[in-house]
Amino acid sequence: MSGASSQSREVCHSTGVYRRRHPERTVLYGVVQHHFESWLQHHRERCADDPIPAYIERDFRAYLDCGIMARGFARARCAACGHDLLIAFSCSGRGACPSCSTRRMAETAAHLVDHVFPQVPARQWVLSLPKRLRYFVRRDSELAGRVLNVWLRVLEARVRACCPGAPPKARFGAVSFI
């Protein structure tokens, strides 16, 4: 191996190591790839009066392209060492793609911590509804808002009850993602 080719294969230590993910090797990808079209067809035949929302079909189709080099990529070059890197395009989806959803969640959390929350102690609370109620709350945004308001009122009352020494001007704040 010549010196030039060995240099081009070295990883620049001034940056992190990028390892391409391989979504096509996951069980989820295989299931969606092999069964999505038949599921759509089955639903169209059996439930013509209740079509699948367009965004669901669009998200699953984008998921099947996400991280696949043949579907598109960008070329990046390290200015320090000259190493080239190919990075597959992502779908930036919100529902079907676990990789993009996780990245979006981490970016949102970092933004909240770095730019939104004041430098005070914070706690995360999660409200999980019984499965039988989730359908109704998901379909009715007014109901979702009312459920959230009740949850926040109860949570604030409980936090205040547990903190009797807190100043009366102490404020309760919340960021919610439904």
Quick: pLDDT tens for 87-114.
888 888 777 888 888 888 889 889 998 9
The larger pLDDT score, comparing residue 45 to residue 20, is at: 45
On whether the CB atoms of residues 104 and 94 are closer than 8 A, the answer is yes
pTM above 0.85, yes or no: no
Q: What is the pLDDT of residues 132-172, one digit of tens each?
A: 998 889 889 999 999 999 999 999 888 888 888 888 788 78
For residue 40, pLDDT beyond 90: yes
Q: What is the pLDDT of residues 67-78, one digit of tens each?
A: 888 888 888 888
Residues in the chain: 178
Give the pLDDT of residue 176. 81
